[in-house]
């Protein structure tokens, strides 16, 4: 009996040591609260993914907000400057992942929504110091979006009339402030960031993509085409990603939370 108890205790310790970590990255004009407001974080909690903290990279280090300590399945939410160019976001994300690795040796599952999914892919492709076990993207423009090009055209067209235009349409100032990111999210062309990124060697990890469904009334993504969201259309990844479809608009939804539970269970077991 005593030996059996020792074995059970050893198995419990081993199970805790092998618990994985999930990391959430928001998209353009989002923040850490995007995962809470959408209900995704709460749904993940029903499967044991406990909020370990909101991580904000700063010049002096990583600021940590409201975390639950000693979680067996830690869930970190990262807050990035959502209007910054992708290279900046990717570098900040990489620094944050390095910080997580100082806290635990557990495998990391990286999840990004919209532009956050592209920033996450850029981070793990440019920097191999921090290994992740899987990458899941949600409605991410891996092959760019014509909406970014339209936004750039509008920003340029209104620039000579900026004071008046910004007074009438305050969002135009936001577009001009986001120009670097919008350039990064245009459809790939020779010399563009996505053109370069999509042919770079990607790490041999598990890839998943949640693609917005189309065909249902008032559903489907009006910002990013399904083709662009599909990781298998990235030349460096083709046929390596598992694709799931969620019939929803571009924003995060509770359905994403339930789908992520399915994906994380699959990724953890592999």
User: Which whole number is the average pLDDT over 160-181?
Assistant: 66
Instruction: Give pLDDT, residue 69.
Output: 67
Q: What is the DSSP letter of 188?
A: P
Ramachandran assignment for 12, one of left (phi > 0), alpha (psi -120 to 50 degrees), beta (any other): alpha
CA distance 60 to 242: 38
28-142+191-269: CATH topology: Rossmann fold (3.40.50)
State percent of the chain over pLDDT 90. Answer: 71
Domain range list for the chain: 28-142+191-269, 146-184
DSSP-H helix ranges across 23-82 = 34-37, 40-45
Instruction: Give pLDDT, residue 151.
Output: 87
Instruction: Give pLDDT, residue 99.
Output: 95
Name the percent of the chain in helix, strand, coil, to the closest 5: 45, 20, 40
Sign of CA dihedral 104, 105, 106, 110: positive
pTM of the shown model: 0.88
Instruction: Give pLDDT, residue 186.
Output: 97
What kind and span of H or E run contains 108? strand 108-113
pLDDT of 5 higher than 50: no
What are 186-215's pLDDT values in tens digits? 999 999 999 999 999 999 999 999 999 765
Look-up of token digits 């869930």: 75
Task: Name which of 20-29, 34-43, 68-77 the model is least confident about.
Answer: 68-77
CA distance 224 to 49: 29
State percent of the chain over pLDDT 70. Answer: 83
Instruction: Return the exposure string of 23-46: e unless at least 16 CB atoms fall within 10 Å of the residue's CB, then b.
Output: bbbbbbebbbebbeebbbbebbee
What kind and span of H or E run contains 102? helix 86-103
What are 130-156's pLDDT values in tens digits? 889 999 999 999 999 999 999 888 876
The larger pLDDT score, comparing residue 4 to residue 23, is at 23
pLDDT of 260 higher than 60: yes
């Amino acid at each position: 009996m005593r030996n059996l108890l020792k074995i059970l205790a050893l198995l419990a310790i081993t199970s805790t040591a092998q618990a994985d970590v999930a990391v959430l990255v928001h998209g353009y004009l989002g923040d850490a609260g995007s995962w809470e407001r959408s209900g995704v974080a709460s749904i993940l909690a029903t499967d044991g993914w406990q909020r370990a903290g909101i991580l904000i990279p700063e010049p002096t280090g990583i600021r940590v907000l409201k975390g639950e300590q000693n979680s067996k399945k830690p869930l970190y939410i990262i807050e990035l400057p959502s209007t910054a160019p992708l290279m900046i976001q990717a570098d900040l994300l990489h620094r944050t992942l390095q910080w997580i690795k100082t806290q635990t040796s557990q495998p990391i599952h990286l999840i990004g929504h919209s532009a956050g999914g592209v920033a996450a892919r850029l981070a793990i492709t440019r920097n191999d110091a921090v290994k992740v076990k899987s990458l899941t993207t949600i409605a991410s423009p891996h092959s760019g979006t014509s909406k970014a090009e339209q936004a750039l055209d509008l920003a340029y067209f209104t620039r000579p009339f900026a004071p008046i235009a910004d007074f009438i349409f305050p969002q135009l100032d936001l577009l001009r402030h986001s120009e670097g990111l919008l350039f990064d999210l245009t459809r790939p062309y020779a010399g563009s960031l996505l053109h370069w990124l999509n042919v770079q060697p990607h790490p041999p990890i598990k890839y998943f993509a949640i693609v917005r469904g189309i065909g249902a009334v008032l559903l489907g993504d009006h910002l990013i085409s399904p083709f662009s969201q599909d990781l298998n259309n990235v030349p460096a990844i083709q046929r390596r990603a598992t694709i799931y479809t969620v019939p929803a608009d571009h924003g995060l939804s509770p359905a994403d939370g339930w789908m992520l539970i399915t994906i994380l269970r699959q990724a953890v077991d592999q």
